[in-house]
Amino acid sequence: MPTVIASHIPGRAVHRYDLLDETTEKYGISAREAHEAIHAFLGQIVDIDGEDAVILDRRPIRPELLKRNRRDLDVYWWLTISDEAAETIRESLAASYADEE
C-alpha cells in the first residue's frame, strides 16, 4: 500500500494522514512537530534523489479550489511517496526520537 502524506505549508494547517498518526502515537509528539519532521526528512530525500523519484503522485485535497478559490485559500496536496522514501523517513524518525520511545 503506498504511503500518502499531506503537503506542508510552514505555520499553516496540518492535515491528518497515517504516517503522521503513526509518528505522533509512537513518539508522543504533537501533530505539528511530526508533520514538520516528516517534511524535513522528505526534503532531504528529494534533494538527494530528485522530486520525480520520490513523489510519485500529487492530488489536491480540495480539488474544487483549483477551479474556484474566491477567498484565496491555501491549496494542500495529497502526496504519494515512494516506498523507499517512506522507509527512510521512518528510519530517520526512529533515529531522531529513539529516546522518546
- Summarised one tens digit per residue, pLDDT across range 7-38 is 988 778 899 999 999 999 999 999 999 999 99
pLDDT greater than 60 at residue 101: no
pLDDT for the residue numbered 64: 86
Phi-psi region of 11 (alpha: psi -120 to 50; beta: other; left: phi over 0): left
Q: How many independent structural domains does the chain possess?
A: 1
- Summarised one tens digit per residue, pLDDT across range 36-90 is 999 999 999 999 999 999 999 999 988 888 788 787 778 889 999 999 999 999 9
Phi, psi of 78 (to 5 degrees): -90, 120
Range(s) of the domain holding residue 77: 3-100
